[in-house]
Structure 1
Amino acid sequence: MTLMTIIDDTALHQSKKQSKKLEKLWQDVEKKQARNQRYRAKLDGFYEEFKPLIESKEHVVCAATGKWIQHLLTFVPRKTIKGNQRVELYAWIEEELTILEANPFNPISTTDLREFFTSLLIDFQSTMPKQTVSDEELDALREDLFGMFGEWLPLSNEELIDMIHHPERFQAYIHDMLNQSNSAEAEDEHEDDSEWDGPDWDMNDDFSFENDDPELPMSTALFEDKAMTKLYRQLANQLHPDKERDPEKKALKKDLMQLLSQAKKDKDALSLLMMAQEHLPEYKLTADDDMLKRIEATLHSKIALLNQEHEFMQHGNDIKSEIWRRFGGGAKASRAKTLEQYGDLLIVESEALYAKINNVTTVQAMREQLSQRIHQQELNSMMGFGMFEDFLK
């Protein structure tokens, strides 16, 4: 079934060229929807293939990381770890906690680890007399923070000294800085993606899509038309699960009503028309020239959104997209080999963490590790600055 089959052509005055243009746009929408569905199915399928092969090994790495964090925490009360090395120890613990939190397969409670970290910091701070902090030490701390975050932080000397005297505040500050960039986005996503919470539809709902705002985009204006209000009610009446006694059909209609509700939420007039194609065989949309312009604008807008969706699936940061980009290339045999190699690397990584736990057992050994990290960060910073200078030449 095509777009023009549901438009009542008795009131139309458009040319054949205009009809063909609308039909071509409609077909493009359907092709891009099918393309996105195939790509999503590919991501979902590979994720289901990935999960049983790798998840248990990811759990092993997470467990090893958790043990390593606990081992690092045993050095927090050691008073001989001072100055930049103490700052680096806190940063290292924070880094490992962040890695653990970012792993979508993580079964370890980072909340418990963080609370334990904070309690150790408080205990350590209570045993230490406040010391005079030199300007050189403050400058060194600022440089360490710059290396950690890639920018100079707007902290006064008094704030830095307070953090030195209260390590738990320093830890909390680092945690907040690492997470604040994502918190607003996460909150917006939570509001936008709230799950439908039950069959609260009312077939006699007297809402209206109408809006008299002349500045509405043409694509939105189609949804606001009275015809879409009427179509929504017809679909709701046809698909309402409470009117169905057969359990299987009732479950199907429940899913369809969720789609209908989502279309209303998204102001997606095309989804209403597509549902009408399938579920209201006698439906006809009476369209004048203005309505056709709205349909055309909506089709263009839908194509743009579908392209954006496809782009996000290819380059987004969700777990399924990341797994496909990292491991999904090549033939099936090649992917299987890549997954096997990755699983082996996870085991090697976990064994390396346990080896560090067994080898780094003294304060002296830990101080050597901290010095190496500080030195490596200084090298990375110098290399980055050198590359920037080369770019400017």
Structure 2
Amino acid sequence: MKANTTFLQNVKQSTTAKPSSELELLWQRIEKHTKRNANFDTKKQGLFTQFKEQVEPHEQYQAQMIAQQVIHLSQFIPRKSLTVEQRSELVDWINADLDYLSNHPFTGDIDIAAISHTFRSQLDKHNQAAVNEIPASELNMFRAMLQQDFPGLELTDEQLKEITLDPKLLYQHLDEQGLGDNTEHEPNSADEAFNTGDAYSDDDEDWDDFFDQYEHFDRDEIKQQKTNSKLEKLFKSSQLNKMYKRLASKLHPDKEPDPAKKAEKHQLMQQLGEARKAKDGFTLLQLYITHFDDDVDFDEETKANLVPLLQNKIAELNALHRRQKQGNDEHTLVWRKFNGRSKAQIKENFANHIAALNNECDEIAERLGYCTTVKLLKEELNDRILDKRHMPASFQAALESMFNF
């Protein structure tokens, strides 16, 4: 071993020390990013624990009130006195509530499937009644339209009504009557086949975008291949092989008589084996630094090959941090919505959200209390229809986004 200070000796020193080489600088960045990610997870977990204790009960109560509202409103769907526009507004209202319950992560033990079934059964009841009232003249017109598209198709009035309720049944009748392979209305030329909104365009800009994406992928692939090549060289170096063999000898569980330490070494040995298989030199270095006090003075070629390995680790840590902030898991959703610069700000964010939830629950409770007749419901629906008519589309979209968790 050389007497001069080497890379592994330096990385064991305090991270506040000024780095004397690129490798030491990269290692310090790795340690810094690792601590940053760990601290972020700790803070996020702490905030989530606060949310579970203080806010989630209000979220679950709001979900229960919305569920009651869906059940209450669903019973009005079959009422004949509703206009087409009013019934459409009512169905949209209920669907919006169901979507909210289905996508919200903190609804508790509400049986959303059962609530949806209640809504669907009432909607089916209305649809069945509406279909039963279709006059014969309209059924004949519908039959003629289908026969024009599918010559030879014969359907009874009841079958036409069933298709009105479930259009998929048309394909079943076509198959039963041997008309399922009807190709009369398929495109007759390549031009017709591509005459859709989803077809590729030969617009120059579109092709430029395509080739830009391809070239970007190609550059990334070439860069990764070069990195892999350097890592291959790194793992073929005698120094890393020597480090691996020393670790394998020290960590081998068969040489450990103590059962607890034997189990620990078994896990470490698995980690070491996986690192070698995956060419994870960073893990190998970490294990070596942890379990040996001596050092290895890397030659220049090994040092050069260590650089991309450490750079890759930094990129992985940064990608993990982005996922920590941008994920759609419960912890990250809570973090994005309620995190603040101080404890006081977080407390205020919680309080404001709880107040909004309570206000909505009060409104629903009031609505369930007075909106007990079709006449009163129609007034509510008319108000909602008028509000939509006078609300700019952009503002409506912003409002919906604001109330999404």
Identify the TM-score tier after normalising by the shorter chain. 0.5 to 0.7
Residue 64 (structure 1) shift:
0.9
Kindly provide the CA deviation profile for residues 43-68 of structure 1, in whole angstroms up to 9, marking residues without a partner as x: 11111122111222222111111111
Q: How many residues align?
A: 304
Task: Find 2:286's aligned residue among 249, 271, 274.
Answer: 274
How far apart are the structure 1 equivalents of 2:95 and 2:254?
A: 52
How far apart are the structure 2 equivalents of 1:64 and 1:374?
A: 23
CA contact (8 A) 2:234 2:305 kept: no
How far apart are the structure 1 equivalents of 2:389 and 2:266?
A: 59
Q: Which moved more, 1:278-287 or 1:296-305?
A: 278-287
Q: Which moved more, 1:55-64 or 1:122-131?
A: 122-131
CA contact (8 A) 1:26 1:299 kept: yes
CA contact (8 A) 1:239 1:253 kept: yes
Matched, 1:68 2:62: no
Counterpart residue identity of residue 321, structure 1: T
Matched, 1:326 2:337: yes
What's 1:123 paired with? 125
**Partner of 2:391: helix, strand, or coil?**
helix
How far apart are the structure 2 equivalents of 1:258 and 1:168?
A: 57
Residue 276 (structure 1) shift:
3.6
Query: CA 1:98–1:294 in 2, change beyond 3 Å: closer, same or farther?
Result: farther
Structure 2 counterparts to residues 115-194 of structure 1, below 5 A: 115-129=117-131, 131=134, 165-166=164-165
Matched, 1:5 2:8: yes
Kindly provide the CA deviation profile for residues 248-287 of structure 1, in whole angstroms up to 9, marking residues without a partner as x: 6577668768977997898754234323432466786976
What's 2:103 paired with? 102
Task: Find 1:335's aligned residue among 315, 332, 346.
Answer: 346
CA contact (8 A) 1:104 1:319 kept: yes
How far apart are the structure 2 equivalents of 1:277 and 1:325?
A: 37
How far apart are the structure 1 equivalents of 2:82 and 2:319?
A: 51
How far apart are the structure 2 equivalents of 1:309 and 1:383?
A: 34
Query: CA 1:244–1:217 in 2, change beyond 3 Å: closer, same or farther?
Result: same
How far apart are the structure 2 equivalents of 1:163 and 1:272?
A: 67
Query: CA 1:22–1:325 in 2, change beyond 3 Å: closer, same or farther?
Result: same
Stretches of structure 1 lacking an aligned partner (at least 5 in a row): 8-17, 135-161, 170-212, 388-393
Query: CA 1:60–1:5 in 2, change beyond 3 Å: closer, same or farther?
Result: same
CA contact (8 A) 2:272 2:284 kept: yes
Residue 338 (structure 1) shift:
3.8
How far apart are the structure 2 equivalents of 1:81 and 1:267?
A: 69
**Partner of 1:217: helix, strand, or coil?**
helix
How far apart are the structure 1 equivalents of 2:223 and 2:357?
A: 56
Residue 89 (structure 1) shift:
2.1
Counterpart residue identity of residue 356, structure 1: R
Matched, 1:113 2:115: yes
What's 1:217 paired with? 225
Kindly provide the CA deviation profile for residues 129-186 of structure 1, in whole angstroms up to 9, marking residues without a partner as x: 2659x9xxxxxxxxxxxxxxxxxxxxxxxxxxx99953999xxxxxxxxxxxxxxxxx
Residue 218 (structure 1) shift:
3.8
Between Structure 1 and Structure 2, whose CA radius of gyration is higher? 2
Query: CA 1:90–1:39 in 2, change beyond 3 Å: closer, same or farther?
Result: same
Task: Find 2:321's aligned residue among 292, 295, 310.
Answer: 310
What's 2:172 paired with? none
